[in-house]
Amino acid sequence: MKDSCFALPHLLRPLLLALALTTQILASPPATDALGVSPAHQELHYSGRTGEVAAGQVALGWSGARVRLRFKGTAVSMRMIDDTKANFVLVRIDGERRAKLRLDAPDGTYNLATGLPPGEHTVEIVRVTEAMLGLPRFLGFTLSPGASVLPWGREPDRRILFVGDSITCGYGVEVDDPKLRFTADTENFCDGYTGLTVEALQADYVVVSRSGIGMLRNYNGPREGNPDAMPAIYPRQFFQTEQPRWKPDRFKPQVICINLGTNDFSTSGPDVDKFVAAYRQFTTQLLQQYPRAKLVLLQGPMNNRAELRDALRRVQATLPPKLAPRVSYFELTAQGPLGFGADWHPSRAQSQRNAAELTAHLRQLMAW
């Protein structure tokens, strides 16, 4: 009997050890490693002219270019590098503006949100400065330990292509003093009429715009035109380089909004016949490239003079008969009473007014 009593613990020892190991596995704390989301992750949603420029680096090429992610977690950071350190991005968390960041961190790391309530969230990064200021590169998001990436989900099927100049970029919109000169700090695509319009319509978009550009003649350029006007730079994926070229089938707009002519008619003005011809040719190419799209010729708020209006009407009237029914003209209310931004550009209040006008026009035109 004595021998049996002493033998029992020896018999139970393997069983107790197995039970202890099982309990340890079940009670293990969650993984402490943060979750990295590479720029190539299939659930990332890009808008605008973007593209891979190196392994693990996606450039946001033009105004309004953005990247979005839906996730479950409590924190999110990102890595983004900008050689010029002149560019800014707008951060939205769960659809709300969180910060406007200058891309100048030495290591390219930015903490976007911490302490979020457990559950589902969205993060959105929008380039709010224009293409000629450099080429910011997105290197990915990092989520809190235990986080997971979620499908983005369905959105309204609304797609707009914007082609324009500084007004489309949101030049100087963050200040209310026309005597101030341009700085990257005061430019904000999201506060310009373009960014406000896509936000109101919940539309996806591509923007091709640069300050000072025209359809034929850039600001204060020769009457006969400039070789680097919009028709020359439009095919580029990135403003800085001729190659690579943008692939039109990557984004098929339902409506195209062109706001050009302000710089063409600046100072001494263009050869109007050449302006009309260049505008007509460019418009024809876009309509042929996107045979299901409608197109709006916009007259912007900085020039509501009859000379530009008549030229745009001539463009509309002289298009090929098969294309003309898809084209309309729309004039945005001229600036003045609502003040001015930097360098006499549209103020924030003016941009809000013009965005409301264009939003209403597109809702009616597109049955949105």
User: Cα separation of 57 and 40, whole Å?
Assistant: 9
Instruction: Report the chain's C-alpha Rg in angstroms.
Output: 27
C-alpha to C-alpha distance for 84 and 136, rounded to whole angstroms:
8
Q: How far apart are CA 100 and CA 91, in angstroms?
A: 6
Strands 137-143 and 96-102: unpaired
Q: Please, are residues 143 and 73 in contact by the beta-carbon 8 Å criterion?
A: yes
Q: From CA 41, how far away is CA 38, in angstroms rounded? A: 5
Cβ atoms of 59 and 50 within 8 Å: the answer is yes
Domain extents for the chain? 35-150, 159-366
Q: What sign results for the dihedral spanned by CA atoms 19, 21, 25, 27?
A: positive
Per-residue pLDDT reduced to its tens digit, 302-325? 999 999 999 999 999 999 999 999
CA-to-CA distance for 201 and 217, rounded, in angstroms? Answer: 32
Would you identify the CATH topology of the domain 159-366?
A: Rossmann fold (3.40.50)
219-239 average pLDDT score: 98
- Residue 10: per-residue pLDDT: 45
Higher pLDDT, 2 or 306: 306
CA–CA distance, 194 with 355 (Å, rounded to integer) = 7
Three-state SS letters, 231-278: HHHCCECCCCCCCCECCHHHCCCCEEEEECCCCCCCCCCCCHHHHHHH
At 32 the pLDDT is 61
pLDDT attached to residue 9: 43
Cα–Cα distance list, 159 to 151, 155, 256 (Å) = 20, 11, 9
pTM: 0.91
Per-residue pLDDT tens digits for 22-48: 333 233 334 468 999 999 999 999 999
Q: What is the pLDDT of residues 123-181, one digit of tens each?
A: 999 999 999 999 999 999 999 999 999 999 888 899 999 999 999 999 999 999 999 99
Q: Any idea what DSSP says for residue 221? A: -
Can you say how many angstroms the Cα of residue 220 is from the centroid of all Cα atoms in its chain?
A: 28
Predicted confidence at residue 49, as pLDDT, reads: 99
Give yes or no for a contact between 130 and 93, defined as CB atoms under 8 angstroms apart: no
DSSP 8-class letter at 137: E
Could you tell me the pLDDT band of residue 15, with boundaries at 50, 70 and 90?
very low
CA–CA distances in Å: residue 215 to residues 159, 164, 222, 261 = 23, 9, 13, 6
* Residue 325 CA to its chain's centroid (Å): 29
CATH number for the segment(s) 35-150: 2.60.120.260
